[in-house]
Amino acid sequence: MATTTSPLSGQASGVPDTDLSQASIEGIHQAMLAGKLTARALVELCLARIDAYDDRGPTLHAISLVNRGARARADSLDALFRRRGLTGPLHGIPVVVKDNIDVAGMRTSAGSGALTAFLPTRDAEVVARLHAAGAVILARSNMAEFALSSTETVSSSMPGRTYNPYALNRTPGGSSGGSAAAVAAGYAPVALGTDTGSSIRGPAAWTSLVGLRPSFGLVSRQGVFPLYRDRDTVGPLTRTVRDAALMLEVMAGPDPDDPSTAETGRYSVKGAVEGLHAGALAGVRVGVLRSLAAPRDTDPDVLVLFELALIDLRRAGAVIVDSVTIPGMHEGPLACERFQRDVDAYFGDLGAYAPFASFADLLARGRLDGPMKARLAALERGAVPEEDGACRAAHARLGRLRTSFEARMAERDLDVLVNPTWRHPPPLVADAAERTGNASHFLAVPLGLPAITVPMGFARGSLPAGLHFVGAPWSDAALLGYAYAYEQATLHRRPPASTPALVPGGSSAGAPGWGAGSGS
Protein backbone atom coordinates (compact mmCIF):
# COMPACT_ATOMS: atom_id res chain seq x y z
CA MET A 1 0.00 0.00 0.00
CA ALA A 2 1.30 3.45 -0.85
CA THR A 3 2.45 5.67 2.00
CA THR A 4 0.05 8.61 1.92
CA THR A 5 -0.29 12.03 3.48
CA SER A 6 -2.96 14.39 4.71
CA PRO A 7 -5.11 15.99 2.02
CA LEU A 8 -4.68 19.51 0.71
CA SER A 9 -6.32 22.14 2.89
CA GLY A 10 -6.31 25.31 0.84
CA GLN A 11 -2.53 25.74 0.58
CA ALA A 12 -2.59 26.24 -3.18
CA SER A 13 -2.24 30.03 -2.95
CA GLY A 14 -5.52 30.58 -4.72
CA VAL A 15 -4.55 28.62 -7.84
CA PRO A 16 -7.30 26.06 -8.57
CA ASP A 17 -6.39 22.41 -9.00
CA THR A 18 -7.66 22.40 -12.57
CA ASP A 19 -4.79 24.78 -13.46
CA LEU A 20 -2.15 22.53 -11.93
CA SER A 21 -2.99 18.83 -12.09
CA GLN A 22 -2.35 18.79 -15.84
CA ALA A 23 0.01 21.77 -16.02
CA SER A 24 3.30 21.85 -17.88
CA ILE A 25 6.64 22.74 -16.31
CA GLU A 26 6.52 26.09 -18.09
CA GLY A 27 3.01 26.79 -16.81
CA ILE A 28 4.03 25.92 -13.25
CA HIS A 29 7.04 28.22 -13.39
CA GLN A 30 4.92 31.04 -14.78
CA ALA A 31 2.58 30.66 -11.80
CA MET A 32 5.54 30.71 -9.41
CA LEU A 33 7.03 33.82 -11.02
CA ALA A 34 3.62 35.52 -10.84
CA GLY A 35 3.45 34.84 -7.10
CA LYS A 36 0.46 32.51 -7.47
CA LEU A 37 2.19 29.27 -6.51
CA THR A 38 4.95 27.93 -4.29
CA ALA A 39 6.84 24.68 -4.47
CA ARG A 40 5.30 23.64 -1.15
CA ALA A 41 1.78 24.34 -2.40
CA LEU A 42 2.43 22.28 -5.52
CA VAL A 43 3.81 19.37 -3.50
CA GLU A 44 0.75 19.51 -1.24
CA LEU A 45 -1.54 19.37 -4.25
CA CYS A 46 0.30 16.37 -5.70
CA LEU A 47 0.23 14.53 -2.38
CA ALA A 48 -3.48 15.31 -2.01
CA ARG A 49 -4.18 13.76 -5.39
CA ILE A 50 -2.23 10.65 -4.46
CA ASP A 51 -4.22 10.46 -1.25
CA ALA A 52 -7.51 10.92 -3.08
CA TYR A 53 -6.97 8.57 -6.00
CA ASP A 54 -4.27 5.98 -5.42
CA ASP A 55 -5.56 3.75 -2.60
CA ARG A 56 -9.19 4.86 -2.80
CA GLY A 57 -11.53 6.33 -5.39
CA PRO A 58 -10.30 4.87 -8.69
CA THR A 59 -7.57 3.04 -6.70
CA LEU A 60 -4.90 3.29 -9.37
CA HIS A 61 -2.10 1.76 -7.25
CA ALA A 62 0.50 3.77 -9.17
CA ILE A 63 2.55 4.80 -6.13
CA SER A 64 4.55 2.40 -3.99
CA LEU A 65 6.16 4.92 -1.63
CA VAL A 66 5.87 8.66 -0.96
CA ASN A 67 8.99 10.65 -0.12
CA ARG A 68 8.59 11.94 3.43
CA GLY A 69 11.21 14.58 2.71
CA ALA A 70 9.31 16.14 -0.21
CA ARG A 71 7.77 18.93 1.87
CA ALA A 72 11.09 19.91 3.44
CA ARG A 73 12.74 19.93 0.01
CA ALA A 74 9.97 22.18 -1.33
CA ASP A 75 10.32 24.54 1.64
CA SER A 76 14.06 24.89 1.03
CA LEU A 77 13.44 25.66 -2.64
CA ASP A 78 10.85 28.29 -1.71
CA ALA A 79 13.37 29.93 0.60
CA LEU A 80 15.92 30.06 -2.22
CA PHE A 81 13.28 31.37 -4.63
CA ARG A 82 12.54 34.30 -2.34
CA ARG A 83 16.22 35.27 -2.51
CA ARG A 84 17.10 34.62 -6.16
CA GLY A 85 14.16 33.25 -8.14
CA LEU A 86 14.08 29.91 -9.94
CA THR A 87 17.06 27.78 -8.98
CA GLY A 88 17.13 25.65 -12.14
CA PRO A 89 15.09 24.34 -15.06
CA LEU A 90 13.17 21.95 -12.78
CA HIS A 91 12.79 24.29 -9.79
CA GLY A 92 10.07 22.93 -7.50
CA ILE A 93 8.87 20.35 -10.05
CA PRO A 94 7.65 17.13 -8.37
CA VAL A 95 9.01 14.01 -10.07
CA VAL A 96 7.83 10.42 -9.63
CA VAL A 97 10.70 7.92 -9.92
CA LYS A 98 10.31 4.31 -10.97
CA ASP A 99 11.18 1.85 -8.22
CA ASN A 100 14.28 0.47 -9.95
CA ILE A 101 16.17 3.80 -9.96
CA ASP A 102 18.13 4.50 -6.77
CA VAL A 103 17.10 7.43 -4.58
CA ALA A 104 19.23 7.81 -1.45
CA GLY A 105 17.23 6.92 1.65
CA MET A 106 14.26 5.52 -0.29
CA ARG A 107 14.02 1.82 -0.96
CA THR A 108 14.79 0.38 -4.37
CA SER A 109 12.66 -2.74 -4.66
CA ALA A 110 12.59 -3.21 -8.46
CA GLY A 111 8.99 -4.24 -7.80
CA SER A 112 10.05 -7.27 -5.76
CA GLY A 113 9.29 -8.21 -2.19
CA ALA A 114 12.83 -9.57 -2.03
CA LEU A 115 14.28 -6.03 -2.07
CA THR A 116 11.88 -4.00 0.05
CA ALA A 117 14.46 -3.59 2.85
CA PHE A 118 17.15 -2.21 0.53
CA LEU A 119 17.88 1.50 1.14
CA PRO A 120 20.44 2.96 -1.29
CA THR A 121 22.95 5.36 0.20
CA ARG A 122 23.57 7.18 -3.08
CA ASP A 123 21.33 8.68 -5.74
CA ALA A 124 21.45 7.26 -9.23
CA GLU A 125 23.29 9.72 -11.49
CA VAL A 126 20.07 10.70 -13.24
CA VAL A 127 18.38 11.46 -9.89
CA ALA A 128 21.38 13.54 -8.83
CA ARG A 129 20.99 15.57 -12.03
CA LEU A 130 17.29 16.15 -11.31
CA HIS A 131 18.15 17.35 -7.79
CA ALA A 132 20.79 19.72 -9.18
CA ALA A 133 18.17 21.16 -11.54
CA GLY A 134 15.82 21.93 -8.62
CA ALA A 135 13.41 18.98 -8.78
CA VAL A 136 11.51 17.50 -5.84
CA ILE A 137 11.52 13.70 -5.73
CA LEU A 138 7.89 13.14 -4.81
CA ALA A 139 7.38 9.38 -4.79
CA ARG A 140 8.28 5.96 -6.09
CA SER A 141 6.09 4.39 -8.75
CA ASN A 142 4.92 0.81 -8.89
CA MET A 143 6.47 -1.38 -11.60
CA ALA A 144 6.34 -4.88 -13.01
CA GLU A 145 8.46 -7.13 -10.81
CA PHE A 146 12.06 -6.96 -12.02
CA ALA A 147 10.68 -5.15 -15.12
CA LEU A 148 9.82 -8.51 -16.68
CA SER A 149 6.46 -7.55 -18.23
CA SER A 150 5.69 -5.04 -20.98
CA THR A 151 1.91 -5.43 -20.76
CA GLU A 152 1.07 -5.12 -17.05
CA THR A 153 2.41 -3.52 -13.87
CA VAL A 154 2.16 -6.04 -11.04
CA SER A 155 4.77 -6.16 -8.29
CA SER A 156 5.27 -8.17 -5.11
CA SER A 157 6.63 -5.16 -3.20
CA MET A 158 3.12 -3.74 -2.69
CA PRO A 159 -0.38 -5.23 -2.89
CA GLY A 160 -2.42 -4.83 -6.03
CA ARG A 161 -1.71 -3.99 -9.65
CA THR A 162 -1.63 -0.61 -11.33
CA TYR A 163 -4.74 0.33 -13.33
CA ASN A 164 -5.16 2.58 -16.32
CA PRO A 165 -6.77 5.92 -15.33
CA TYR A 166 -8.50 6.07 -18.74
CA ALA A 167 -10.32 2.78 -18.17
CA LEU A 168 -10.09 1.27 -14.71
CA ASN A 169 -10.53 -2.30 -15.88
CA ARG A 170 -7.57 -2.03 -18.26
CA THR A 171 -3.80 -2.11 -17.91
CA PRO A 172 -1.52 0.91 -18.30
CA GLY A 173 1.15 -1.43 -19.65
CA GLY A 174 4.47 -2.35 -18.07
CA SER A 175 6.97 -2.16 -16.68
CA SER A 176 6.82 1.62 -16.12
CA GLY A 177 3.04 1.54 -15.80
CA GLY A 178 3.10 3.17 -12.37
CA SER A 179 5.05 6.16 -13.68
CA ALA A 180 2.66 6.49 -16.61
CA ALA A 181 -0.51 6.25 -14.53
CA ALA A 182 0.88 8.78 -12.03
CA VAL A 183 1.59 11.44 -14.65
CA ALA A 184 -1.67 10.84 -16.51
CA ALA A 185 -3.64 11.15 -13.26
CA GLY A 186 -1.95 14.42 -12.29
CA TYR A 187 0.08 13.12 -9.34
CA ALA A 188 3.14 14.87 -10.77
CA PRO A 189 3.97 16.74 -13.97
CA VAL A 190 6.70 14.27 -14.98
CA ALA A 191 8.13 10.87 -14.09
CA LEU A 192 11.15 8.69 -14.76
CA GLY A 193 10.85 5.27 -16.30
CA THR A 194 13.21 2.71 -17.76
CA ASP A 195 12.98 1.17 -21.21
CA THR A 196 14.65 -2.10 -22.15
CA GLY A 197 12.04 -3.33 -24.63
CA SER A 198 9.23 -0.77 -24.64
CA SER A 199 8.69 -0.01 -20.96
CA ILE A 200 8.55 3.78 -21.28
CA ARG A 201 6.91 4.11 -24.67
CA GLY A 202 4.37 1.32 -24.22
CA PRO A 203 2.78 2.67 -21.01
CA ALA A 204 2.99 6.25 -22.34
CA ALA A 205 1.00 5.29 -25.44
CA TRP A 206 -1.69 3.57 -23.37
CA THR A 207 -2.07 6.54 -21.01
CA SER A 208 -2.03 9.34 -23.62
CA LEU A 209 1.44 10.59 -22.67
CA VAL A 210 4.74 11.41 -24.30
CA GLY A 211 7.36 8.74 -23.61
CA LEU A 212 10.98 9.13 -24.70
CA ARG A 213 13.62 6.42 -25.07
CA PRO A 214 16.86 8.39 -25.50
CA SER A 215 19.75 7.19 -27.63
CA PHE A 216 21.55 4.41 -25.79
CA GLY A 217 24.42 5.99 -23.88
CA LEU A 218 22.94 9.49 -23.76
CA VAL A 219 21.65 9.10 -20.17
CA SER A 220 23.54 7.34 -17.39
CA ARG A 221 22.28 4.02 -16.02
CA GLN A 222 24.42 4.19 -12.88
CA GLY A 223 22.27 3.26 -9.89
CA VAL A 224 19.57 1.56 -11.96
CA PHE A 225 18.60 -2.04 -11.20
CA PRO A 226 19.27 -3.79 -14.51
CA LEU A 227 17.26 -5.94 -16.84
CA TYR A 228 19.62 -6.03 -19.83
CA ARG A 229 22.47 -3.54 -19.52
CA ASP A 230 23.21 -3.44 -23.22
CA ARG A 231 19.69 -2.13 -23.80
CA ASP A 232 18.56 -0.50 -20.53
CA THR A 233 17.80 3.21 -20.81
CA VAL A 234 16.30 5.82 -18.48
CA GLY A 235 13.86 8.34 -19.91
CA PRO A 236 10.98 10.69 -19.08
CA LEU A 237 7.22 10.23 -19.21
CA THR A 238 5.51 13.59 -19.61
CA ARG A 239 2.31 15.20 -20.82
CA THR A 240 4.02 17.34 -23.46
CA VAL A 241 6.95 17.00 -25.82
CA ARG A 242 8.40 20.23 -24.50
CA ASP A 243 8.57 18.79 -20.99
CA ALA A 244 10.24 15.65 -22.36
CA ALA A 245 12.86 17.80 -24.10
CA LEU A 246 13.46 19.80 -20.95
CA MET A 247 13.87 16.63 -18.91
CA LEU A 248 16.31 15.20 -21.44
CA GLU A 249 18.45 18.33 -21.36
CA VAL A 250 18.78 17.90 -17.59
CA MET A 251 19.33 14.12 -17.64
CA ALA A 252 21.77 13.72 -20.54
CA GLY A 253 25.54 13.78 -20.30
CA PRO A 254 28.62 11.66 -19.70
CA ASP A 255 29.10 9.80 -16.44
CA PRO A 256 32.44 8.19 -15.56
CA ASP A 257 30.56 5.48 -13.68
CA ASP A 258 28.71 4.39 -16.84
CA PRO A 259 31.04 3.57 -19.74
CA SER A 260 28.14 3.57 -22.20
CA THR A 261 28.01 7.39 -21.92
CA ALA A 262 31.60 7.91 -23.08
CA GLU A 263 30.52 9.28 -26.47
CA THR A 264 27.72 11.42 -25.11
CA GLY A 265 29.77 14.59 -24.93
CA ARG A 266 29.94 14.61 -28.73
CA TYR A 267 26.14 14.63 -29.04
CA SER A 268 24.88 17.34 -26.71
CA VAL A 269 21.13 17.91 -26.54
CA LYS A 270 21.49 21.36 -25.00
CA GLY A 271 19.18 23.66 -26.89
CA ALA A 272 16.65 20.92 -27.64
CA VAL A 273 13.86 22.90 -25.94
CA GLU A 274 14.76 26.15 -27.65
CA GLY A 275 14.82 24.35 -31.00
CA LEU A 276 11.22 23.12 -30.81
CA HIS A 277 8.91 24.74 -33.33
CA ALA A 278 5.61 23.88 -34.97
CA GLY A 279 7.07 23.86 -38.49
CA ALA A 280 9.76 21.26 -37.79
CA LEU A 281 8.14 18.65 -40.07
CA ALA A 282 8.33 20.77 -43.22
CA GLY A 283 10.21 18.77 -45.84
CA VAL A 284 11.05 15.97 -43.43
CA ARG A 285 11.02 12.55 -45.09
CA VAL A 286 8.98 10.15 -42.94
CA GLY A 287 9.21 6.43 -43.66
CA VAL A 288 6.18 4.31 -42.81
CA LEU A 289 6.92 0.93 -41.21
CA ARG A 290 3.84 -0.62 -42.76
CA SER A 291 4.73 -4.13 -41.52
CA LEU A 292 4.09 -2.86 -37.98
CA ALA A 293 0.57 -1.72 -38.87
CA ALA A 294 -0.65 -4.58 -41.02
CA PRO A 295 -4.46 -4.99 -41.04
CA ARG A 296 -4.23 -8.69 -40.23
CA ASP A 297 -2.81 -8.06 -36.74
CA THR A 298 -3.67 -4.42 -35.98
CA ASP A 299 -6.83 -3.32 -34.21
CA PRO A 300 -9.11 -1.58 -36.76
CA ASP A 301 -9.48 1.53 -34.62
CA VAL A 302 -5.73 1.83 -34.14
CA LEU A 303 -5.23 1.37 -37.86
CA VAL A 304 -7.68 4.19 -38.60
CA LEU A 305 -5.89 6.45 -36.12
CA PHE A 306 -2.56 5.63 -37.75
CA GLU A 307 -3.86 6.47 -41.23
CA LEU A 308 -5.19 9.77 -39.87
CA ALA A 309 -1.80 10.43 -38.27
CA LEU A 310 -0.11 10.02 -41.66
CA ILE A 311 -2.54 12.56 -43.10
CA ASP A 312 -1.74 14.95 -40.24
CA LEU A 313 2.00 14.50 -40.79
CA ARG A 314 1.57 15.30 -44.48
CA ARG A 315 -0.51 18.39 -43.67
CA ALA A 316 2.28 19.50 -41.32
CA GLY A 317 4.66 19.47 -44.27
CA ALA A 318 6.22 16.01 -44.04
CA VAL A 319 6.99 13.92 -47.12
CA ILE A 320 5.45 10.49 -46.47
CA VAL A 321 7.43 7.54 -47.86
CA ASP A 322 5.00 4.62 -47.75
CA SER A 323 6.15 2.02 -47.14
CA VAL A 324 9.63 1.13 -45.87
CA THR A 325 11.00 -2.30 -45.03
CA ILE A 326 14.14 -2.98 -43.02
CA PRO A 327 15.64 -6.40 -43.82
CA GLY A 328 16.32 -8.38 -40.66
CA MET A 329 13.93 -6.34 -38.51
CA HIS A 330 11.80 -9.35 -37.66
CA GLU A 331 14.63 -11.82 -37.21
CA GLY A 332 15.86 -12.95 -33.84
CA PRO A 333 17.16 -13.42 -31.31
CA LEU A 334 19.46 -10.42 -31.54
CA ALA A 335 21.03 -10.72 -28.09
CA CYS A 336 22.12 -13.18 -25.41
CA GLU A 337 20.53 -13.66 -22.02
CA ARG A 338 22.55 -11.71 -19.44
CA PHE A 339 20.15 -10.74 -16.62
CA GLN A 340 22.11 -12.82 -14.10
CA ARG A 341 25.45 -11.19 -14.98
CA ASP A 342 24.00 -7.69 -14.92
CA VAL A 343 22.39 -8.18 -11.50
CA ASP A 344 25.70 -9.52 -10.21
CA ALA A 345 27.41 -6.35 -11.46
CA TYR A 346 24.77 -4.10 -9.85
CA PHE A 347 25.19 -5.79 -6.47
CA GLY A 348 28.96 -5.69 -6.89
CA ASP A 349 28.93 -1.92 -7.43
CA LEU A 350 27.03 -1.49 -4.15
CA GLY A 351 29.74 -3.31 -2.22
CA ALA A 352 28.98 -3.71 1.48
CA TYR A 353 25.58 -2.02 1.06
CA ALA A 354 24.29 -4.63 -1.40
CA PRO A 355 21.15 -6.46 -0.21
CA PHE A 356 22.46 -9.70 -1.76
CA ALA A 357 25.90 -10.88 -2.72
CA SER A 358 24.85 -12.06 -6.17
CA PHE A 359 21.96 -13.15 -8.37
CA ALA A 360 22.36 -16.67 -7.01
CA ASP A 361 22.14 -15.32 -3.47
CA LEU A 362 18.94 -13.43 -4.38
CA LEU A 363 17.49 -16.60 -5.82
CA ALA A 364 18.43 -18.62 -2.74
CA ARG A 365 17.45 -16.18 0.04
CA GLY A 366 15.10 -13.64 -1.53
CA ARG A 367 11.39 -13.45 -0.73
CA LEU A 368 10.08 -14.64 -4.09
CA ASP A 369 6.83 -16.39 -4.89
CA GLY A 370 6.92 -19.72 -6.71
CA PRO A 371 6.31 -18.49 -10.29
CA MET A 372 8.84 -15.65 -10.02
CA LYS A 373 11.45 -17.90 -8.46
CA ALA A 374 10.95 -20.38 -11.29
CA ARG A 375 11.22 -17.63 -13.87
CA LEU A 376 14.46 -16.29 -12.38
CA ALA A 377 15.87 -19.82 -12.16
CA ALA A 378 15.10 -20.26 -15.86
CA LEU A 379 16.95 -17.01 -16.65
CA GLU A 380 19.91 -18.28 -14.62
CA ARG A 381 19.94 -21.53 -16.57
CA GLY A 382 19.65 -19.66 -19.85
CA ALA A 383 22.71 -17.48 -19.31
CA VAL A 384 25.59 -18.47 -21.60
CA PRO A 385 29.03 -16.93 -22.23
CA GLU A 386 29.34 -14.27 -24.93
CA GLU A 387 31.61 -16.61 -26.89
CA ASP A 388 28.84 -19.23 -27.10
CA GLY A 389 27.82 -20.09 -30.64
CA ALA A 390 24.24 -18.92 -30.17
CA CYS A 391 25.50 -15.60 -28.81
CA ARG A 392 27.85 -15.11 -31.74
CA ALA A 393 24.99 -15.84 -34.14
CA ALA A 394 22.77 -13.30 -32.36
CA HIS A 395 25.47 -10.64 -32.56
CA ALA A 396 25.93 -11.38 -36.26
CA ARG A 397 22.19 -10.90 -36.88
CA LEU A 398 22.35 -7.62 -34.96
CA GLY A 399 25.24 -6.44 -37.12
CA ARG A 400 23.32 -7.24 -40.28
CA LEU A 401 20.27 -5.38 -38.98
CA ARG A 402 22.36 -2.28 -38.24
CA THR A 403 23.83 -2.37 -41.74
CA SER A 404 20.42 -2.81 -43.39
CA PHE A 405 18.89 0.00 -41.31
CA GLU A 406 21.64 2.45 -42.22
CA ALA A 407 21.49 1.42 -45.88
CA ARG A 408 17.72 1.76 -46.14
CA MET A 409 17.67 5.17 -44.42
CA ALA A 410 20.29 6.37 -46.89
CA GLU A 411 18.68 4.77 -49.97
CA ARG A 412 15.28 6.32 -49.27
CA ASP A 413 16.78 9.57 -47.89
CA LEU A 414 14.76 9.19 -44.68
CA ASP A 415 14.87 11.40 -41.60
CA VAL A 416 12.58 9.38 -39.33
CA LEU A 417 10.37 6.27 -39.25
CA VAL A 418 6.84 5.96 -37.85
CA ASN A 419 4.48 3.20 -36.74
CA PRO A 420 1.76 2.70 -34.10
CA THR A 421 3.37 2.25 -30.67
CA TRP A 422 1.00 -0.67 -29.95
CA ARG A 423 -1.09 -2.44 -32.54
CA HIS A 424 -4.06 -2.56 -30.17
CA PRO A 425 -5.57 -0.40 -27.40
CA PRO A 426 -4.83 -1.12 -23.72
CA PRO A 427 -6.31 -4.56 -23.01
CA LEU A 428 -8.55 -5.61 -20.17
CA VAL A 429 -6.62 -6.58 -17.07
CA ALA A 430 -7.83 -10.16 -17.41
CA ASP A 431 -6.25 -10.38 -20.88
CA ALA A 432 -3.11 -8.29 -20.35
CA ALA A 433 -0.64 -11.07 -19.61
CA GLU A 434 -1.50 -12.88 -22.85
CA ARG A 435 -1.58 -9.92 -25.24
CA THR A 436 1.03 -9.18 -27.86
CA GLY A 437 1.11 -6.37 -30.39
CA ASN A 438 4.11 -4.39 -29.15
CA ALA A 439 5.27 -2.49 -32.24
CA SER A 440 7.93 -0.28 -30.63
CA HIS A 441 10.85 -2.60 -29.89
CA PHE A 442 12.03 -3.79 -33.30
CA LEU A 443 14.65 -1.15 -34.19
CA ALA A 444 15.21 1.34 -31.37
CA VAL A 445 15.96 -1.30 -28.75
CA PRO A 446 18.55 -3.51 -30.47
CA LEU A 447 20.20 -0.63 -32.35
CA GLY A 448 20.20 1.88 -29.47
CA LEU A 449 18.23 4.46 -31.49
CA PRO A 450 16.21 7.33 -30.03
CA ALA A 451 12.44 6.81 -30.11
CA ILE A 452 9.41 8.67 -28.83
CA THR A 453 5.67 8.08 -28.59
CA VAL A 454 3.14 10.92 -28.79
CA PRO A 455 -0.65 10.74 -28.30
CA MET A 456 -2.33 9.68 -31.56
CA GLY A 457 -5.95 9.84 -30.39
CA PHE A 458 -8.38 7.43 -28.80
CA ALA A 459 -9.68 4.08 -30.00
CA ARG A 460 -13.34 3.33 -29.15
CA GLY A 461 -13.53 7.03 -28.22
CA SER A 462 -11.69 6.66 -24.89
CA LEU A 463 -8.76 4.20 -25.12
CA PRO A 464 -5.43 5.95 -25.79
CA ALA A 465 -3.15 5.11 -28.70
CA GLY A 466 0.30 6.44 -29.56
CA LEU A 467 2.28 7.37 -32.67
CA HIS A 468 5.85 6.08 -32.52
CA PHE A 469 8.81 7.92 -34.08
CA VAL A 470 12.24 6.26 -34.49
CA GLY A 471 15.20 8.43 -35.36
CA ALA A 472 18.70 8.00 -36.71
CA PRO A 473 21.56 7.45 -34.24
CA TRP A 474 21.99 10.39 -31.83
CA SER A 475 19.18 12.40 -33.49
CA ASP A 476 17.35 12.98 -30.19
CA ALA A 477 16.98 16.75 -30.58
CA ALA A 478 15.66 16.48 -34.14
CA LEU A 479 13.33 13.65 -33.14
CA LEU A 480 11.86 15.78 -30.36
CA GLY A 481 11.29 18.50 -32.94
CA TYR A 482 9.34 16.20 -35.25
CA ALA A 483 7.24 14.89 -32.35
CA TYR A 484 6.56 18.43 -31.16
CA ALA A 485 5.36 19.54 -34.57
CA TYR A 486 2.98 16.56 -34.76
CA GLU A 487 1.76 17.19 -31.21
CA GLN A 488 1.06 20.86 -31.91
CA ALA A 489 -0.74 20.03 -35.15
CA THR A 490 -3.09 17.55 -33.47
CA LEU A 491 -3.31 18.21 -29.69
CA HIS A 492 -4.87 14.78 -29.13
CA ARG A 493 -4.23 14.49 -25.41
CA ARG A 494 -6.99 14.99 -22.86
CA PRO A 495 -6.85 14.10 -19.15
CA PRO A 496 -8.64 11.01 -17.80
CA ALA A 497 -12.10 11.43 -16.31
CA SER A 498 -11.37 9.13 -13.37
CA THR A 499 -9.10 11.66 -11.58
CA PRO A 500 -10.83 15.05 -11.80
CA ALA A 501 -9.87 18.31 -10.12
CA LEU A 502 -9.90 18.44 -6.33
CA VAL A 503 -11.89 20.93 -4.32
CA PRO A 504 -10.54 22.34 -1.02
CA GLY A 505 -10.33 19.53 1.48
CA GLY A 506 -9.06 17.03 -1.06
CA SER A 507 -12.34 15.64 -2.43
CA SER A 508 -13.00 15.40 -6.14
CA ALA A 509 -15.12 17.84 -8.08
CA GLY A 510 -17.65 16.24 -10.35
CA ALA A 511 -16.08 12.81 -10.07
CA PRO A 512 -17.81 10.01 -11.94
CA GLY A 513 -18.81 6.85 -10.16
CA TRP A 514 -15.91 4.51 -9.48
CA GLY A 515 -16.62 1.64 -11.79
CA ALA A 516 -15.01 -0.03 -14.76
CA GLY A 517 -14.79 3.34 -16.48
CA SER A 518 -15.23 4.03 -20.14
CA GLY A 519 -13.92 1.59 -22.65
CA SER A 520 -15.22 -1.45 -20.78
Query: What positions carry a catalytic annotation?
Result: 98, 175, 199
Q: Determine whether 69 is exposed, middle or buried from the number of CB atoms within 10 Å of its CB (0-12, 13-18, 19+).
A: middle
Q: At a CB cut-off of 8 Å and minimum separation 6, what does 10 contact?
A: 504
Alpha helices in 54-187 (DSSP H): 70-84, 125-132, 177-184
Alpha helices in 334-452 (DSSP H): 339-350, 359-365, 370-382, 389-411, 429-432, 444-447
Residue type, position 155, single letter: S
Q: Rounded to an integer, what distance in angstroms lies between the CA atom of residue 116 and that of residue 11?
A: 33
Q: Rounded to an integer, what distance in angstroms lies between the CA atom of residue 469 and that of residue 286?
A: 9
CA-to-CA separations, 319 to 7, 314, 390, 449, 486, in angstroms, rounded: 51, 6, 41, 21, 13
Q: Are 144 and 155 in contact (CB under 8 A)?
A: yes
Query: Strands across the sheet with 94-98, in order?
Result: 63-66, 136-141, 94-98, 190-195, 233-238, 210-213, 451-459, 463-471, 416-420, 285-288, 319-322
Q: Rounded to an integer, what distance in angstroms lies between the CA atom of residue 237 and that of residue 249?
A: 14
Q: Rounded to an integer, what distance in angstroms lies between the CA atom of residue 518 and that of residue 293?
A: 25
Q: Are 516 and 167 in contact (CB under 8 A)?
A: yes
Of 441, 444, 459, 453, residue with least CA distance to 292? 441
Q: Rounded to an integer, what distance in angstroms lies between the CA atom of residue 59 and that of residue 398?
A: 43
